[in-house]
């Protein structure tokens, strides 16, 4: 799985290694880069979740069509099903896997 991150984002990996070795905290610039990388990974995670749960999203959308307040109780089952499906692909464990994959890609890119 390739995330197509830019070269400047590979700095984060190097900085994290340096921080572990030296015990220093990240600078403001490094913190911003780390936040941007995490936001990009979260965005990819959400896109994958919507793609994987497309069938459930469609069911909920069909149920909700033409409804306003009644969607809360009328489509309760579809809403619960949608939330469960999305949670499978958007939890902390999945995000950690994305982060690990990103770091491995950066390390592989640096070593080649």
Q: What is the pLDDT of residue 111?
A: 84
Q: CA nearest 42: which of 90, 106, 103?
A: 90
Prediction pTM value: 0.67
- Convert the pLDDT of each residue in 27-49 to its tens digit: 777 777 788 999 999 999 999 99
Q: What is the pLDDT of residue 2?
A: 47
- Convert the pLDDT of each residue in 71-91 to its tens digit: 999 999 999 999 999 999 999
The HSE-up count of residue 15 (CA atoms within 13 Å, CB side) is 16
Q: Which residue has the higher pLDDT, 33 or 103?
A: 103
Q: Is 81 helix (H, G, I), strand (E, B) or coil?
A: helix
15 φ/ψ angles, rounded to the nearest 5 degrees: -65, -40
Segment 44-69 shows an average pLDDT of 96
Q: What is the pLDDT of residue 1?
A: 44
- What's the angle, vertex CA 69, arms to CA 66 and CA 74, rounded to 5? 75
pLDDT at 16 over 80: no
Q: Which residue has the higher pLDDT, 67 or 21?
A: 67
């Amino acid at each position: 799985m390739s995330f197509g991150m830019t070269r400047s984002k590979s700095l984060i990996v190097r900085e994290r290694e340096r921080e572990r070795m030296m015990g220093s905290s990240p600078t403001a610039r490094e913190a911003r880069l780390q936040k941007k990388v995490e936001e990009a990974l979260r965005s990819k995670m959400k896109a994958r979740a919507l793609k994987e749960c497309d069938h459930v999203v469609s069911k909920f959308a069909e149920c909700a069509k033409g409804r306003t307040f009644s969607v809360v109780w009328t489509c309760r089952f579809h809403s619960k099903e949608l939330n469960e499906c999305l949670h499978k692909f958007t939890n902390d464990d999945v995000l950690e896997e994305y982060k690990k994959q990103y770091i491995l890609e950066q390390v592989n890119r640096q070593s080649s």
